[in-house]
């Protein structure tokens, strides 16, 4: 997470304010480098110095580490860090020089050396604190995410267990119906039963796993589409386009089917011909999924898996935090979903 909570902002602001007040309290008569609180020469250098150090601290914590280090590597991070350090150190040295000269004092080489040493020490501490803050924040966030995922998985497993009324009995029953349909010459019904059995087997066998191969999820979607087309026949045209996924790209099971179910639920009618477009592809280690359909006012009653779009959003936020984008739009009577997942 790159964001910071409002309570943290308040806490940081209080710490900075208290630090500046104590640092510039005249009765303490603190000496900070070449400036003193007793004669108030420390006031403005400490304020500007604090601002610069805060920029350095937050720049490392919320830009260099989450953006540069994690996306461009260690070499780029070190180069940016050195640049940040030199630029902000130079700015603060120039500010301190102007305040020192404005006070009427003589700027000697020893004063310059003392300024450089003090600024370097403070900026090194800011770098250390920024790095420590970022990694400790990420650690706590990751621990919280792991707990949420574990709890979600436990709840999901309990729901699955509640709904599993002897799957072997269901498979045997479907096989019996399949044999009876073939015996009576009803090949269309037999084909539907066969597809349904494959879908049920996939749900029972793979839904409890963390990840499945993308081609398995696509096969499940194809079986679902096939069943719906057996029902609606030529009333609905489904265009399913996807690349041949030779790369073993994995995805959380049953993640895409709610969008397909939603398209059939709100985009199919027995009164008019409709069309559903589904496109999938992988580019630069990112899986892209898009589905669109016309919104039909008089929609058909279509049973679904019971996993709504809100639940999909929750699963995405738990399983793929900061690694997915989901955009849903409903414009000009066209409902469109765009999902991207970085593996």
pLDDT per residue as tens digits for the range 94-116: 988 888 888 778 778 888 888 88
Query: Span 234-342: which CATH code?
Result: 3.30.565.10
Residues 6+ apart with CB under 8 A from 234: 273
Spatial distance between the Cα atoms of 309 and 328, rounded to a whole number of angstroms: 10
User: Tokens in use for 228?
Assistant: 């719906």
Tokens 């073939």 sit at which residue?
A: 182
Please write the tens of the pLDDT for every residue from 48-91.
888 998 999 989 888 898 888 888 888 988 999 999 999 999 99
Q: What is the pLDDT of residues 267-315, one digit of tens each?
A: 887 778 889 999 998 888 899 999 999 888 755 555 544 457 887 888 8
Residue pLDDT, tens place only, 139-187: 888 888 888 787 777 666 545 544 444 454 455 555 555 565 665 666 6
What is the Rg, in whole angstroms, of the alpha carbon atoms belonging to the chain?
31
Report residue 297 as tokens. Answer: 């006012």
Ranges in the chain annotated CATH 3.30.565.10: 234-342
Give, for 242, the enclosing helix (H) or strand (E).
strand 236-242
**Which residues are within 8 A (CB) of 141 and not within 5 positions of it... i.e. 6 or more apart?**
1
């Amino acid at each position: 997470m790159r964001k910071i909570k409002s309570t943290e902002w308040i806490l940081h602001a209080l710490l900075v304010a208290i630090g500046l007040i104590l640092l510039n309290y005249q009765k303490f008569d603190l000496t900070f480098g070449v400036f003193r609180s007793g004669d108030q020469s420390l006031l403005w250098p400490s304020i500007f110095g604090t601002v610069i150090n805060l920029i350095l601290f937050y720049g490392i914590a919320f830009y260099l580490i989450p953006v540069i280090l994690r996306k461009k590597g260690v070499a780029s991070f070190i180069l940016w860090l050195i640049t940040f350090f030199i630029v902000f150190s130079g700015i603060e040295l120039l500010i301190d020089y102007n305040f020192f000269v404005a006070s009427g004092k003589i700027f000697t080489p020893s004063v310059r050396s003392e300024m450089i040493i003090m600024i370097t020490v403070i900026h090194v501490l800011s770098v250390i604190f920024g790095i420590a803050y970022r990694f400790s924040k990420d650690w706590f966030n990751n621990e919280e995410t792991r707990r949420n995922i574990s709890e979600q998985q436990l709840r999901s497993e309990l729901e699955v267990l509640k709904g599993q009324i002897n799957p072997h009995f269901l498979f045997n029953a479907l096989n019996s119906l399949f044999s009876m349909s073939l015996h009576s010459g009803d090949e269309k019904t037999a084909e539907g039963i066969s597809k349904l059995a494959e879908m049920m087997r996939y749900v029972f066998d793979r839904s409890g796993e963390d990840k499945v191969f993308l081609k398995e999820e696509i096969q499940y979607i194809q079986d679902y589409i096939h069943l719906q087309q057996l029902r609606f026949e030529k009333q609905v045209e489904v265009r399913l386009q996807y690349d041949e996924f030779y790369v073993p790209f994995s995805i959380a099971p049953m993640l895409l089917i709610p969008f397909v179910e939603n398209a059939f639920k709100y985009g199919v009618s027995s009164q008019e011909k409709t069309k559903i477009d589904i496109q999938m592809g992988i580019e630069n280690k990112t899986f892209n999924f898009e589905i669109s359909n016309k919104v039909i006012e008089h929609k058909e009653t279509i049973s679904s898996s019971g996993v709504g779009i809100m639940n999909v959003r929750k699963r995405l936020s738990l399983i793929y935090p900061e690694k997915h984008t989901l955009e849903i739009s409903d414009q000009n009577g066209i409902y469109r979903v765009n999902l991207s997942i970085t593996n």
